[in-house]
Structure 1
Amino acid sequence: MATLSASPSPNPNPNFRSPTDQTDHDPESLPQMELHPSSDQEPTPNSNRNFHAVLPTPPEATAPAAAAAPSLLHISFNQDHGCFAAGIDHGFRIYNCDPFREIFRRDFDRGGGIGVVEMLFRCNILALVGGGPDPQYPPNKVMIWDDHQSRCIGELSFRSEVRSVRLRRDRIVVVLEQKIFVYNFADLKLLHQIETIANPKGLCAVSQGAGSLVLVCPGLQKGQVRVEHYASKRTKFIMAHDSRIVCFALSQDGQLLATASSKGTLVRIFNTVDGSLLQEVRRGADRAEIYSLAFSSNAQWLAVSSDKGTVHVFSLKINGGSPGIDRSQSASDPVTSPHSSLSFIKGVLPKYFSSEWSVAQFRLVEGSQYIVAFGHQKNTVVILGIDGSFYRCQFDPVNGGEMTQLEYHNFLKPEAAF
């Protein structure tokens, strides 16, 4: 069983904060622990020769190949969107968003594919899952990596492949194809199991505010989402769409939920407490695959990326629907999402003509996969591409329209190394 350590080791890497560091973006204390490898959920033996045995001390970082750029297996933002992590075919990398820079990399000298990298704000603890053609760890295991010690300090094993992992300061959430497991971070004790409909993308969202844990996952029916309010021990089911759910996002405090279906035309915003529909916005008229949704920190804006090559920003008009959310306005009132010019005959023509459209847009390469988040600078959006592209853009909250590109980098290029 995992145990606590009274004296954590020193941190040789200044780019990661100690688990007990406190910052403006990270007000709560972080887990302080040394976990010893433990098994859970009836671990299955490792019979795949492509998997590397988990060593007590994984190989030290080696210089990356000077030739071609690595293959990207995974990208994800950390909880406050100030950093992002990239899993590659021979390790993982951590980047700062503003200013953009690579702050850490670890390259494994034997294969080393990492298919999931989940950060815990900016502390030294990461969750890793093997991936790619030559995975560093079996894809049915979650490895808890401590970069103070440059090694894995714990593991969770499962009967099937891990689809995604979500971290909070107090919880580890592991998502499988049809099950979700919630663990206590300090000792890896299993607290809750949830059954879901088939969930190959590993859809799951957890609140990151100072309050209690809210967890959202697919329900057991097509188009349904399940909301777990752990403080009140309440479960809420919301029939969000007629079609299959492909993407959703929670506001930081867990009170607002944005959802998108396989049609990709509409995005709906719900109150997670009572399940009421608060707002509906339209990405477009034709079908699209929505890749990511993101709330701004004050839940005033919603960003959407899709395979159509356009990132949209919508204005949220949640008046009293979610008490407790700070929606402090700027000196200028932001423009509201424009409506169709034919909205005056709402109820006569199809719903399309009275839809709320995005305030601001940014054009990218159509067909490529991008994820999006709001930057720490006011009215900025950060966009990450599976091709290694990094964009930082700014939108006009008053006039809307096309966003201004502030920055572009290819974070996979070897010369981008620190």
Structure 2
Amino acid sequence: MATLSASPSPNPNPNFRSPTDQTDHDPESLPHMELHPSSDQDPTPNSNPNFHAVLPTPPEAIAPAAAAAPSLLHISFNQDHGCFAAGIDHGFRIYNCDPFREIFRRDFDRGGGIGVVEMLFRCNILALVGGGPDPQYPPNKVMIWDDHQSRCIGELSFRSEVRSVRLRRDRIVVVLEQKIFVYNFADLKLLHQIETIANPKGLCAVSQGVGSLVLVCPGLQKGQVRVEHYASKRTKFIMAHDSRIVCFALSQDGQLLATASSKGTLVRIFNTVDGSLLQEVRRGADRAEIYSLAFSSNAQWLAVSSDKGTVHVFSLKINGGSPGIDRSQSASDPVCI
């Protein structure tokens, strides 16, 4: 169920760009989020005493707590990797990457844990999901937060807990344990539902380049990934590994997909259009838990982090003209950090 409220006010916060300001940085405009209440929806605040109303008090007015350091519940980059957001047990923080500095924080009173915080580039709109022992919002709801107004302007409710959220300028993607929902950003209209194998980590990736949407998620079989090409209305299934998929990453343009399994020894790179295997790189001989995969902006490098306490950076030598494995890179030594 989607609930909408009034449109955002002008931006009073210099750390966030308004949708119109953001077009100077990105060629495609961001959603303006001019949302209005529906006649059959209840606009009243949440009356559940287990969750807390958002405090509009500016963060500068909140006295620093003398309690223990906050507990980290979630961390994620924005779409161009220029910022990252951290959800903690009483609010969220936003940091600039280069130069590294905290650029914004919001603390909620009386608990207020945020288990998911997803940015939309650098604009004022964020997607929040409650988390931790004292969540700010129910864990089965996605709250669309407008930091211009210091309040939520819309919400999406589900029957089970939300595992992750992905944002684009035109879409909101919500990931549950075994289902994914794709919504139009402007009016929160449901566009697509996808069933998946059990997905407790909320694995999902969407392309961010200007143009059509490419979405990747787990398939219905162990080791399988599903690729949705919305422009061509094509679905591609790729049997990426024999073992369970634990991590994958999509290049900005949606053309390349990197996958890792529960073994954690090999990382494979696929062409998302035809599903062909383009390259295979070896992280190591021992089993490892892969924490994350990330392409560089030009897709020439792939970073792999794991529970071994290392980050491997692989040079990608993919011949776009011919699908198949570049054998010269299959056993290449990565840069290890």
TM-score (normalised: structure 2): 0.89
Q: 1:259 to 1:7 in 2, by over 3 A?
A: closer
Tell whether 2:120 aligns with 1:129: no
**Residue 320 of structure 1: CA displacement?**
1.5
**Residue 328 of structure 1: CA displacement?**
20
| Residues 57-107 of structure 1 deviation map (CA, whole Å, 9 limit, x = unaligned) | 999962331342211000011111000000000000100000011000000
| Residues 360-414 of structure 1 deviation map (CA, whole Å, 9 limit, x = unaligned) | xxxxxxxxxxxxxxxxxxxxxxxxxxxxxxxxxxxxxxxxxxxxxxxxxxxxxxx
Cα distance in 1 between the residues matched to 2:29 and 2:115? 28
**Residue 20 of structure 1: CA displacement?**
1.6
Instruction: Check the 8 A contact 1:34/1:153 in 2, yes or no.
Output: no
Tell me which structure has the larger Cα radius of gyration: 1
**Residue 34 of structure 1: CA displacement?**
3.3
Equivalent residue, structure 2, for 1:251? 251
**Residue 32 of structure 1: CA displacement?**
0.6
**Residue 270 of structure 1: CA displacement?**
0.0
**Residue 56 of structure 1: CA displacement?**
9.7
**In structure 2, the residue corresponding to 1:291 is in which secondary structure?**
strand
Cα distance in 2 between the residues matched to 1:143 and 1:79? 19
Q: 1:36 to 1:73 in 2, by over 3 A?
A: farther
After superposing the two structures, state which structure 1 stretch, 312-321 or 73-82, moved more. Answer: 312-321
Cα distance in 2 between the residues matched to 1:171 and 1:247? 22
**In structure 1, the residue corresponding to 2:304 is in which secondary structure?**
strand
Equivalent residue, structure 2, for 1:24? 24
The runs of 4+ residues in structure 1 deviating greater than 4 Å are 1-8, 36-49, 53-61, 321-335
Instruction: Check the 8 A contact 1:140/1:157 in 2, yes or no.
Output: yes
Q: 1:332 to 1:138 in 2, by over 3 A?
A: closer
**Residue 46 of structure 1: CA displacement?**
8.6
**Residue 218 of structure 1: CA displacement?**
0.1
Instruction: Check the 8 A contact 1:37/1:155 in 2, yes or no.
Output: no
Q: 1:146 to 1:315 in 2, by over 3 A?
A: same
**Residue 315 of structure 1: CA displacement?**
0.5
Q: 1:321 to 1:299 in 2, by over 3 A?
A: farther
Instruction: Check the 8 A contact 2:204/2:215 in 1, yes or no.
Output: yes
**In structure 1, the residue corresponding to 2:20 is in which secondary structure?**
coil
After superposing the two structures, state which structure 1 stretch, 195-204 or 36-45, moved more. Answer: 36-45
Instruction: Check the 8 A contact 1:247/1:291 in 2, yes or no.
Output: yes
Identify unmatched segments of 5+ residues in structure 1: 336-417
Instruction: Check the 8 A contact 2:318/2:326 in 1, yes or no.
Output: no
Instruction: Check the 8 A contact 1:301/1:314 in 2, yes or no.
Output: yes
Instruction: Check the 8 A contact 2:113/2:134 in 1, yes or no.
Output: yes
Q: 1:99 to 1:27 in 2, by over 3 A?
A: same
Instruction: Check the 8 A contact 2:280/2:330 in 1, yes or no.
Output: no
Cα distance in 2 between the residues matched to 1:52 and 1:216? 34
**Residue 26 of structure 1: CA displacement?**
2.1
**Residue 192 of structure 1: CA displacement?**
0.1
Instruction: Check the 8 A contact 1:182/1:193 in 2, yes or no.
Output: yes
Q: 1:307 to 1:193 in 2, by over 3 A?
A: same
**In structure 1, the residue corresponding to 2:259 is in which secondary structure?**
strand
Instruction: Check the 8 A contact 1:268/1:279 in 2, yes or no.
Output: yes
Identity %: 98
**Residue 323 of structure 1: CA displacement?**
11
**Residue 28 of structure 1: CA displacement?**
1.3
Instruction: Check the 8 A contact 1:126/1:146 in 2, yes or no.
Output: yes
| Residues 100-129 of structure 1 deviation map (CA, whole Å, 9 limit, x = unaligned) | 110000000121000000000000000000
After superposing the two structures, state which structure 1 stretch, 69-78 or 50-59, moved more. Answer: 50-59
Q: 1:333 to 1:21 in 2, by over 3 A?
A: farther
**Residue 35 of structure 1: CA displacement?**
2.9
Cα distance in 2 between the residues matched to 1:308 and 1:108? 35
Cα distance in 1 between the residues matched to 2:325 and 2:17? 28
After superposing the two structures, state which structure 1 stretch, 320-329 or 258-267, moved more. Answer: 320-329
Instruction: Check the 8 A contact 1:204/1:216 in 2, yes or no.
Output: yes
Q: 1:200 to 1:168 in 2, by over 3 A?
A: same
How many equivalent residue pairs?
Answer: 336
Instruction: Check the 8 A contact 2:6/2:37 in 1, yes or no.
Output: no
Instruction: Check the 8 A contact 1:116/1:131 in 2, yes or no.
Output: yes
Instruction: Check the 8 A contact 1:56/1:152 in 2, yes or no.
Output: no
Instruction: Check the 8 A contact 1:263/1:287 in 2, yes or no.
Output: yes
Q: 1:105 to 1:306 in 2, by over 3 A?
A: same
Q: 1:188 to 1:23 in 2, by over 3 A?
A: closer
Instruction: Check the 8 A contact 1:38/1:155 in 2, yes or no.
Output: no
Q: 1:7 to 1:52 in 2, by over 3 A?
A: closer
Cα distance in 2 between the residues matched to 1:179 and 1:288? 27
Cα distance in 2 between the residues matched to 1:79 and 1:258? 17
| Residues 236-285 of structure 1 deviation map (CA, whole Å, 9 limit, x = unaligned) | 00000000000000000000000000000000000000000000000011
Equivalent residue, structure 2, for 1:317? 317
Instruction: Check the 8 A contact 1:247/1:293 in 2, yes or no.
Output: yes
After superposing the two structures, state which structure 1 stretch, 16-25 or 291-300, moved more. Answer: 16-25
Cα distance in 1 between the residues matched to 2:271 and 2:41? 34
Correspondence list, 1:121-200, <5 A = 121-200=121-200
Identify unmatched segments of 5+ residues in structure 2: none
**In structure 2, the residue corresponding to 1:60 is in which secondary structure?**
helix
Cα distance in 2 between the residues matched to 1:267 and 1:198? 21
**Residue 48 of structure 1: CA displacement?**
7.5
